[in-house]
Structure 1
Amino acid sequence: METASTIILIGSSLLIVSILTSYLALRIGTPLLLIFLGVGLFAGIDGVGGISFNDADSAFLIGSIALAVILFESGLDTKLSSYRAAAWPALSLATFGVAITSGVIGVAAHFLLGLPWIESFLVGAAVSSTDAAAVFFLLRVGGITIRDRVRSTLEIESGSNDPTAILLTAMLVEAALHGWGTPLELAGFLVKQIAGGAVLGVLGGAVLAAFINKARLDPGLNPVVTLAFALFLFAGTNELGGSGFLAVYAAGLVAGNVKLRGALGLRQFHSGLTWLSQIVMFVMLGLFATPHDFGAIALPALALAVLLILLARPLAVWLCLLPFRFSANEKTFMAWVGLRGAVSMLLALVPILGGLPGGQVIFNTAFLVVIVSLAVQGWTIGPMARWLKLIVPPRRGPVERFELELPGGADQEMVAYTVHPKSPAGQFQLEPFD
């Protein structure tokens, strides 16, 4: 009883501290995800809290659930119109871009860290994908407005490149433990993961939307249904050999682009749940880290972070976007918005779970690379966009929506708009009643 209360007290205290520090961080422009990570480090084994948390299995489980929730909400909030404008360049970055980045960093890690080739490429695979949580947050909440095609490319890439990095990591761990399979086996594994995740995700999203619209449950139950279904789809797809992360993203994308009963309430629920997932995931990974081990690999990890930011990511972006009409400034900006985050640290847990000798070194290296990425790139996205002259005026539109439950089951909304002071509509004044 006392142990349970202690755990709940510590967990809620960390959440409260994360929320309070995030309020201060917004005022000074600090990347929030870096703040959440810092809270975990501060409370961890080498911090003031002294909390010892070294259970890699639990860390991977919690992180996977949180990432599934984040990716579902990312899909739910992405319009298909974005895909029409940016699907091919984004998918090019999400596949070939991940492979190029992984290869460059893998070669560098072999010489900087002295790891065997397979473990070196595991470092590259772990940090090869951009982080959906970081990119979505900084582009949508960061206070900057850029061209739709550039923003959509970055958001779609960050939401769809995780399966590629996960596949690379899984294949490399399997190769380290049991040797390489035949090319046919590797191709079959890739096809099963990608095709299985995409097909089950699309079907799952369609089924979820149809159920929500036809079942007409109590509005309070709809968010519970979507959450349970997303987690069921994630785990079920993984069990069938597909990519669960791709499946939940695709399901959210499908459900978010059809008329959905109580859609506004669902989006608000999942937005709040995504905040909670981000806080829990980053604080938990901060608790899992062991800073006293960082000294041995600090300089190589810093060198890898610099290579990732200034060489590997720009090379991948410029090569992958050659066939597409992006300006030099736009390519430079997309190369800079290559933030690494929780996905990199979760993938770096896989070698530890697999029992590889260099597993802890891989995790520590990925952890330091993520910190440098969030600190350097996350702090400078706004200034970089302004320096490259990519800021565009924000669109005027509805600022608040309120769902109205009217008799007959009709879905109606009341929308509040901001009226510009010089608009003719703003010249009317209502006279007070006597």
Structure 2
Amino acid sequence: MTTISTLFLLAGLLLFISVLASTVSARLGLPLLLLFLIVGMLAGEEGPGGIMFSDFFTANLIGQLALAVILLDGGLRTRTENFRVALKPAAVLATWGVIGTAALLGVFATWALDVDWRLGLLLAAIVGSTDAAAVFALLRNSGVRLNERVKSTLEIESGANDPMAILLVTVMVEILLFPERASAGGFAWLLLKQAGLGLAFGFAGGWVMAQLLRRMNLAEGLYALLILSGGLLVFGAANLLDGSGFLAVYVAGIVVGNRRSHATEHVLRVMDGLAWLAQAGMFVVLGLLVTPSHLAEYTWEALAMALFLMLVARPVAVAIGLWPFRYTRNEVAFVSWVGLRGAVPVVLAIFPVVMGVPNSQLLFDVAFSVVLLSLLVQGATIPAAARLLKVELPPTDEPRDRREVWVGEEAALPMFEYRVTAGSAAEGRHPDDLASEFIHAEVRCIALVRSGKLLEMKADLRLRPGDSAWFIAPESAAEPLARIFGGATLDLGRNTRFFGEFVVAPDCLAGDLATAYGFTLLPGEVTLPLAEVLVARLGRPAVVGDRVQIGGFVLVVREMGAAGRIGSVGLKCPLVGIAPDKR
């Protein structure tokens, strides 16, 4: 009993310290996942904690369970609208990207570590895929607003590239241990089986869970447990039949998350906490597993591999993979840089150790070092890289909070909270007066909170700075309302520099705009709507921030509407004596 209590005490203490360390993460500019790893290493056998832990089997079990939870949560938050701009390129990166990166890095690892080529390729396969846990966490907590094409590409790639990474690791382990059984046909069949069963179980399991969410009436806290248990069922079933459990649970999350119901908000709120618990627990355990002195033995080799991976192997594979999709050079560079390594390579590095591959401890130590360097260098520089490569969008006016009140199985009322800013257009006005400005949308103020107290909506009520107002409104009114309440909170100059001085309707004739501003169009573009000219010149689905230069003028996609249509266009005029914008 004392041993069990001590175990619970240590587990709780480590997680407690890890969560408290999150407050230090933003101040130091370090990724939170890296701090979890450091906490585990400090608690390990060579740290102040002195905990002896070398159970690779248990670490593998915890790692796979945690990754299943993280991928399920990532799928729940992935909108199918993202597939419009990123499904094909992300699929290429999830397959060719892993193969190309592993091939280039494998050749380098064989030379740098002076090992058998099979061992070099195995090491490259282990660290060849991006990590969903790291990508989801760092992109969503970096404070950077990326354009939809880049963000969706990175998230879908990281959630879908695990089958290829697992296949490559399995293939190389089999070549090392059982070379007589290795065959190209067998490997091709294994890949098809992994991806096919993963997709099948994911879609089927997700559909069943979505139907259960709609039709069952449970206590609020049980909806998330239903989805979590269903996700683990899908994960385990796919793995038992040699399918990709990681792909299955990610796809199941996408299906459930995009079939919204009255229980969806409860599920997302609880799953957010469970995903953080999974990430913290997994990285702490992986930190416990490593021995820092072993890492020090291969410092220079790991550093060389990490640099080659970040600066050569990943960029070359990404550039070739994205070439047909007409990404800009800056977008390709950013996708290359944010090829974050995290828990997946460490979990994959455990496989050879458990299987008894010769020199597998070397693989584990080098892979762990590469992950540490990736989180430290790439993870900590995401905001700077986004600004340098100009893939960051200006901040938008947003509600302070948003909720949904479900009034039917498929009917919900969106609710938004806004805080009155001093000097804003909302100050000194009645909430109903603000709502009346939205002629074509049903907007109503349902609550006003001042100094923590709910106020009665009397006729002489006037908004003051610091008041919180709750509105029921359609999504289309959320941003305009935020502008009324926000005052001068945004850098309007920055927005103008990015989107241009004027806003143009996307359905206006391009020829009329060209005549008004004096620029020349291509033959056949004069009679087309401006939106069609933009899409034709881009050669890909448009997203906010896309720009097309015509003479000295720059047309910028300012907003996107329904069904992937351009909602509004910004126009940047050339300044005398200043070169035109070529971004």
Cα distance in 1 for partners of 2:102, 2:9 equals: 41
Matching residue's letter, 2:384: P
Deviation at 1:400? 2.1
User: Which SS does the other structure have where 1:30 is aligned?
Assistant: coil
Work out the number of aligned pairs and report it: 433
Please list, as runs of the form range in 1=range in 2, the aligned pairs for 1:136-215 lying within 5 A after superposition: 136-179=136-179, 180-215=181-216
Deviation at 1:188? 1.0
Deviations 1:219-263 (A, max 9, x none): 221111111111111011100111000000000001101122311
Q: Give the corresponding residue for 2:393.
A: 392
Cα distance in 2 for partners of 1:321, 1:20 equals: 40
Q: Give the corresponding residue for 1:47.
A: 47
Matching residue's letter, 1:67: L
With normalisation by structure 2, the TM-score equals 0.72
Which fold has the larger relative contact order, with Cα–Cα distance below 8 Å and residues 6 or more apart in sequence? 1
User: Which SS does the other structure have where 1:259 is aligned?
Assistant: coil
Deviation at 1:115? 2.1
Deviations 1:68-125 (A, max 9, x none): 0000000100000001111111111111010011111111111111222222111101
Matching residue's letter, 1:44: G
* Worse-matched range after superposition: 418-427 or 207-216: 418-427
Q: Kindly indicate whether residue 41 of structure 2 is the aligned counterpart of residue 8 of structure 1.
A: no
RMSD: 1.9
Q: Give the corresponding residue for 1:299.
A: 300
Q: Give the corresponding residue for 1:70.
A: 70
Cα distance in 2 for partners of 1:82, 1:420 equals: 33
Q: Give the corresponding residue for 2:246.
A: 245
Q: Give the corresponding residue for 2:91.
A: 91
User: Which SS does the other structure have where 2:221 is aligned?
Assistant: coil
Unmatched 5+ stretches in structure 2: 432-459, 463-583
Percent pairwise identity: 45
Q: Could you say which structure has the higher helix fraction?
A: 1
Cα distance in 2 for partners of 1:77, 1:343 equals: 20
Deviation at 1:427? 5.6
Cα distance in 2 for partners of 1:276, 1:175 equals: 37
- Taking structure 1 as reference, are residues 165 and 402 closer, same or farther at Cα in structure 2, changes over 3 Å only? same
Please list, as runs of the form range in 1=range in 2, the aligned pairs for 1:319-338 lying within 5 A after superposition: 319-338=320-339
Matching residue's letter, 2:278: S
- Taking structure 1 as reference, are residues 163 and 418 closer, same or farther at Cα in structure 2, changes over 3 Å only? farther
User: Which SS does the other structure have where 1:47 is aligned?
Assistant: coil
Cα distance in 2 for partners of 1:335, 1:247 equals: 26
Cα distance in 1 for partners of 2:262, 2:408 equals: 15
Q: CA contact under 8 A between 2:402 and 2:415: conserved in structure 1?
A: yes
Matching residue's letter, 1:252: G
Q: Kindly indicate whether residue 279 of structure 2 is the aligned counterpart of residue 275 of structure 1.
A: no
- Taking structure 1 as reference, are residues 159 and 417 closer, same or farther at Cα in structure 2, changes over 3 Å only? farther
- Taking structure 1 as reference, are residues 148 and 280 closer, same or farther at Cα in structure 2, changes over 3 Å only? same
Unmatched 5+ stretches in structure 1: none
Q: CA contact under 8 A between 1:398 and 1:417: conserved in structure 2?
A: yes
Cα distance in 1 for partners of 2:7, 2:112 equals: 40
Deviation at 1:399? 3.6
Q: Could you say which structure has the higher strand fraction?
A: 2
Deviation at 1:292? 1.7
Q: CA contact under 8 A between 1:34 and 1:371: conserved in structure 2?
A: yes
* Worse-matched range after superposition: 113-122 or 405-414: 405-414
Q: Give the corresponding residue for 2:376.
A: 375
Cα distance in 2 for partners of 1:376, 1:250 equals: 30
Larger C-alpha radius of gyration, 1 or 2?
A: 2
Matching residue's letter, 1:355: G
Deviation at 1:157? 0.8
Cα distance in 1 for partners of 2:31, 2:229 equals: 30
